[in-house]
A and B are shown apart, each in its own frame.
Chain A
Amino acid sequence: MAVTPVGNPYVESSDLVANYPGASEALAERIDIVGVNPFANAGARSTAIPSPTEGMMSSLNDTDEVQRYDGATWKLVGGKVLQVVSAANTSTFGMASATFTDITSLTVTTAALASTGSRVKITVSLGKVSIANLGGASAAFRLMRDAIPIALGDAAGSRVLASFATVPNIRSNDNYGGGGYSFTFVDSPSTTSAVVYKLQMATEGGTQGYINRTVNDTNASPLYLARTASTITVEEIA
């Protein structure tokens, strides 16, 4: 019977039949190293491979993960979204304060994080921000992790540090709201506890500022008076 060569050190046509058992064992060991072996869970894998070799790959049926042994631990190959938490404000939010103040409806609490190495992607989307005309008033926003501001600009003199801010209202019409805003930040909280992410807002001189509506909020059909929605979405990435 013809034997198809598969390359050294495996079976070749020139091998003696007596060498086949050893060559087959070597082939099986090699497959263990370079193949992606399926296991029911991590426990079953530990039983089957008590002493893994760096570079080994395995797949776990219970978590649908492919993992690679790095010489010390099994680590997830690629990334995976472990949890998604989101909040939407489909009503309106208004405020009048020059001090950064919580937007309670744009606050989310994660479940406990999977590991201290987890990264958390926060996406904030504001449908509309409007500020009462005060000679070029703006609103500024801070992203918060628990009570700590994150994603701020670097300190620069007496400038306010924020995550993002609006274009100043230089229009004379309080029915002309500002545009929508979107902001994304990847956080490394280094904890396995649940984390609260929220958005804070401050307005120039404490003048009126709104999310999802214009200042005057006239009840009419032009699109510049449209009510909008705003969201905050948090994703834990393994």
Chain B
Amino acid sequence: MTDIGLTLAHLHPASEWTLDGDDYAGLTWLSDTPKPTEQEIADAYPVAVKAVAAKEKARVKALSDARAFALSLGFTPAMLAVMYPQLTEAPSE
């Protein structure tokens, strides 16, 4: 199933819209620009998914790097859990 919101954020990041439900029929285009067609969104979806995956990969790497750096400074995992809980977040995907 195409994630329309996720795709629009990638395809038209500055656009304004609302989406009732998960289907194209629920998409209301608020911007002055032309409303993308269902096909355009479907075509852009795989690219958007790759972009989200790349962003997530970068996020996980940044977390891992930050955690390794903090440990090298002498912080313990218990200290990190209290002081920087984001560094203990589990990867989501």
Contact = CB atoms under 8 A, between A and B. Distances in A.
Interface of A: 91-99, 101-105, 132, 171-176, 206-208, 210, 215-218, 220, 222, 224
Given A101-B30, A172-B63, A218-B92, A92 B18 contact: no
B58 to A, nearest CB: 10
Interface string B70-87: 000000000000000010
A206 B16 contact: yes
A110 B15 CA distance: 34
A94 B93 contact: no
Chain B interface mostly:
mixed
Nearest to B52: A216
Contacts of A222: 92
Closest 10 CB pairs of A and B: A94-B19, A94-B5, A97-B16, A175-B92, A91-B21, A95-B18, A208-B9, A172-B59, A173-B92, A105-B20
18 contacts: A91-B20, A92-B19, A92-B22, A94-B18, A94-B19, A96-B8, A101-B16, A102-B18, A103-B18, A105-B20, A132-B9, A173-B89, A176-B92, A216-B56, A216-B93, A217-B6, A218-B92, A222-B92
Interface residues of B, number: 25
A173 B16 contact: no
A87 B81 CA distance: 41
A232 B16 CA distance: 24
Contacts of B89: 171-173, 176
Nearest to A216: B52
A97 B92 contact: no
Contacts of B56: 173, 216
Given A175-B93, A216-B92, A210 B5 contact: yes
Given A96-B5, A172-B63, A175-B92, 20 more contacts: A91-B20, A92-B21, A93-B18, A94-B19, A95-B19, A96-B9, A97-B17, A97-B18, A101-B16, A101-B30, A102-B18, A103-B18, A171-B86, A172-B86, A173-B56, A174-B52, A176-B89, A206-B14, A208-B5, A218-B92
- By CB atoms of chain A within 10 A, which of B3, B18, B62 has the most? B18
B3 A217 contact: yes
Contacts of B16: 95-99, 101, 206
Nearest to A201: B18
Contacts of A210: 5
Contacts of B30: 97, 99, 101
Contacts of B92: 173, 175-176, 216, 218, 222, 224
B24 to A, nearest CB: 12
Given A175-B92, A208-B5, A208-B9, A91 B22 contact: yes
